[in-house]
Structure 1
Amino acid sequence: AAPLRRHVDTLSDLLEALEATNATAGRAGGAAEVARALAGGGTPLRRAVLGIPRDVAPESLGTLAPPQRALLAELLHPKVAERGVLLAPDGSSVAVAPLLAGLEVGLKRAAGAPVVSPDPLYAVTVAEVLATSYVVAVANGSRATLGRHGCWDDVEEPQVFTLAGPSWALPDALANGALDGVLLGARLAAEPAPLGALLRGYYGYGAAGERAPSSYRRGRFGNVTTTEKLEEEVVATLRLLRALPATRHLLEDLGDEEVAEVARRATRDFMDVYVECPPVVPRCMWGARPYRGTPSALEPPLASVYIHHTHEPGAPCRSFAACAGAMRAMQRFHQDVRGWDDIGYRCHHVGDNKVPFPGGWSRW
């Protein structure tokens, strides 16, 4: 059988299949809790915050096939970060573990779970992502960086995701999954809904071609979370990590002042990169041809900047596939007709998606 597509639609299918079985009976966290159980319970922090899920009886999984179970387990507990990521219709990549952790918190909160410190909705999503990334960086004597992008082998039938950039940097996919976990977890807490349908509505395009709600994740997170609130939750999460036997060694040399400084730096970096700035789609994601020749780097400060409105396409593109196609068409025209070395723009604000598609900082 062909391998399952590593796409969020596949995750929606898997969650809907779980919701149709007896495996969710008696679990406040629903299908998200079942998925975490299939993956061994999650990270030490998630087990501490969400509890250790009881084992799943194989007979309770109904028609969920072994390959589907294996994919769920790998997505939530990947051996390498790339294997825990799925592609969304808006062109973003999403880490599944923090997403489902946020969904589980939302369902449990809707069932009456109290809000404690650290707030579970932040602790198992954004706060854990930031705390662990920055603590590991401190332990290795390096400064954590954000914005590590990646690309898929095929945007129609995605199977292999490859990260670029330094290994210690926080991947965009992990940040996206954490942001979505907070936003969708909060929605579930206020209004419980089937998880499969929830994800289809959040990641899918509207009937009239409206942007997918997921493409607004950065602005919406900024609307519900202040820098001060996030910093407070990262501090509380760091203190919890320092108390857990499995993670204590990572923070044993950090006093309260150092913990506060790590939280302050991590929070401000995160808000700058993932709330104040728009997402950037790398060349490999829109299918760019190679540059012809040898580019020379631009050296700031630049003497001038030109803002240009393209003639084609005339109508705005309203999906990732359409916008990527428009980019490829412009590049073909510039290289094959104009005879240029590459597409003629350095950064592109494409259609209604409000997503820059960079040509790269170079000149010819």
Structure 2
Amino acid sequence: VSPAVSPAVPPRHMDSLLDILDALESPARGGSPGILGRGLGVCGTPGCRAVLGEPPGSPERPPGVTAAQWQLLTELLRHHPATPERGSVLAPDGSTVALAPLLAGIEVGLRSGGSGRPLPSLDPPLDPLLAVTIAEVLGTSFLLAGDSNATALGPDGCWDDVENPQNYTWRGPPSLVPDPVAIGAMDGVVLGARLARGPLPVAELLRGYYGSGNGSEAGRAPSSYRRRDFGALVGRARLEQEVAAVLGLLRTLSPGSELLRDLGTAEVAEVARRAAREFSERYVECPAIVPRCLWGARPYRGTPAPLRPPLGSVFLHHSRDPARPCRSFGACARAMRDMQRFHQHGRGWDDIGY
């Protein structure tokens, strides 16, 4: 008898998640992605549980979801908080999105819009959408970093294969708010605010926001404008206010009370101020930068000579090709690889000239 062969796990791409959500939300199934996600461990922090409640029991595989899809979903949602890369997917715009803050924000939006149980009133008052997406994890990260040199934000990372992403590798020691968590949180806020205005199937919402397919040329997806849209919804002052509010809530919850035991009101306010300032500078006010490893760059030929500041001058140069602008991550990554190939093999240069 031949041994059983495990089905191939789908790639860790947003399209794979959309396929699962389509099966969950079909009229015959009537599943709830929010409840399922929390049952698998999406909302595991004290502040998130205070807002959304204790998670339901561990769910079984729903009808219509294949064994391979269920394996992927459980791996994405049931992972240790210290390994957020295991809970992230590659989106069509080239960003890597942590699903936990995204799905938590979606559930808050649905319940704020009248779907499901009403959200509780908390003391101190706080915005539940910001609490479950970014305020708690941001405040906690800066609390733990303290005045040391420990990083409280970032880093980013790269996938092993952008066409079939399975493994994501950090480009430095991860904080509690690496780039995928920050991106998932911003998307959770933007989409949660949309759902608060009226219900929409989650698969339809995500497909409209991220687009579909890694090579679509239909135009830039709304997710490409997340920094602008998040900034319009949540200014720096409001983010600071909500981080301070959620830290006030954590004083009453374990283990947050231990972290905050020796901090006074002024010190907590300073943590919130620093967290909001640095998050806004990095993720709202600065543009996203795609690292070489993500678009699939070949290695530099030879040994590069590091620049030695101060520099006398800097030249900013852009490409002439492609003649038609690329409008998706897949198309832009291919264009970058084509230009690098031409410069290295056609012109004999050490690397791409831009």
- Scaled by the length of structure 2, what TM-score is found? 0.88
Could you say which residue in structure 1 is the equivalent of 2:142? 134
Q: Check the 8 A contact 2:295/2:337 in 1, yes or no.
A: yes
Could you say which residue in structure 2 is the equivalent of 1:9? 15
Q: Check the 8 A contact 1:144/1:169 in 2, yes or no.
A: no
Whichever residue aligns with residue 130 of structure 1, its letter is L
Whichever residue aligns with residue 159 of structure 2, its letter is W
Could you say which residue in structure 1 is the equivalent of 2:63? 62
Task: Give the 3 Å change call, closer, same or farther, for CA 287–49 of structure 1 in structure 2.
Answer: same
- The alpha carbon displacement at 1:234 in A equals 0.4
Matches within 5 A, 1:1-364: 1-20=7-26, 30-39=32-41, 41-55=43-57, 58=60, 61-79=62-80, 80-111=83-114, 113=119, 117-138=125-146, 141-168=148-175, 170-204=177-211, 209-345=218-354
- The alpha carbon displacement at 1:310 in A equals 2.0
- The alpha carbon displacement at 1:220 in A equals 0.7
Secondary structure at the counterpart of residue 94 of structure 1: strand
Secondary structure at the counterpart of residue 308 of structure 1: coil
- The alpha carbon displacement at 1:344 in A equals 1.4
Task: Give the 3 Å change call, closer, same or farther, for CA 74–51 of structure 1 in structure 2.
Answer: same
- The alpha carbon displacement at 1:143 in A equals 4.0
Task: Give the 3 Å change call, closer, same or farther, for CA 15–260 of structure 1 in structure 2.
Answer: same
Whichever residue aligns with residue 269 of structure 1, its letter is E
- Report Cα offsets for 1:240-280 as digits up to 9, x if no partner: 22221133222222221111111100100011111111001
- The alpha carbon displacement at 1:313 in A equals 1.5
User: CA separation in 2, counterparts of 1:211 and 1:244?
Assistant: 42
User: CA separation in 2, counterparts of 1:161 and 1:328?
Assistant: 20
Gaps of 5+ in 2: 1-6
Whichever residue aligns with residue 267 of structure 2, its letter is E
Whichever residue aligns with residue 82 of structure 1, its letter is E
- The alpha carbon displacement at 1:222 in A equals 1.0
- The alpha carbon displacement at 1:191 in A equals 1.9
- Scaled by the length of structure 1, what TM-score is found? 0.86
- Report Cα offsets for 1:199-220 as digits up to 9, x if no partner: 1111006986210111100011
Task: Give the 3 Å change call, closer, same or farther, for CA 330–55 of structure 1 in structure 2.
Answer: same
Whichever residue aligns with residue 14 of structure 1, its letter is I
- The alpha carbon displacement at 1:340 in A equals 1.6
Q: Check the 8 A contact 1:77/1:97 in 2, yes or no.
A: no
Secondary structure at the counterpart of residue 279 of structure 2: helix
Q: Check the 8 A contact 1:76/1:96 in 2, yes or no.
A: yes
Q: Check the 8 A contact 2:9/2:72 in 1, yes or no.
A: no
Could you say which residue in structure 2 is the equivalent of 1:354? none
- The alpha carbon displacement at 1:34 in A equals 2.1
Secondary structure at the counterpart of residue 334 of structure 2: helix
- The alpha carbon displacement at 1:300 in A equals 3.0
- More contact order relative to length (CA 8 Å, sep ≥ 6): 2
Secondary structure at the counterpart of residue 304 of structure 1: coil
User: CA separation in 2, counterparts of 1:148 and 1:40?
Assistant: 21
Task: Give the 3 Å change call, closer, same or farther, for CA 74–128 of structure 1 in structure 2.
Answer: farther
User: CA separation in 2, counterparts of 1:21 and 1:135?
Assistant: 45
Whichever residue aligns with residue 119 of structure 1, its letter is D
Gaps of 5+ in 1: 346-364
- The alpha carbon displacement at 1:52 in A equals 1.2
Whichever residue aligns with residue 18 of structure 2, its letter is S
Could you say which residue in structure 2 is the equivalent of 1:361? none
- Report Cα offsets for 1:110-155 as digits up to 9, x if no partner: 115477622110001111231122122128x334343411111111
- The alpha carbon displacement at 1:164 in A equals 1.1
Q: Check the 8 A contact 1:34/1:53 in 2, yes or no.
A: no
Whichever residue aligns with residue 190 of structure 2, its letter is L
User: CA separation in 2, counterparts of 1:147 and 1:283?
Assistant: 17
- The alpha carbon displacement at 1:83 in A equals 0.3
Could you say which residue in structure 2 is the equivalent of 1:352? none
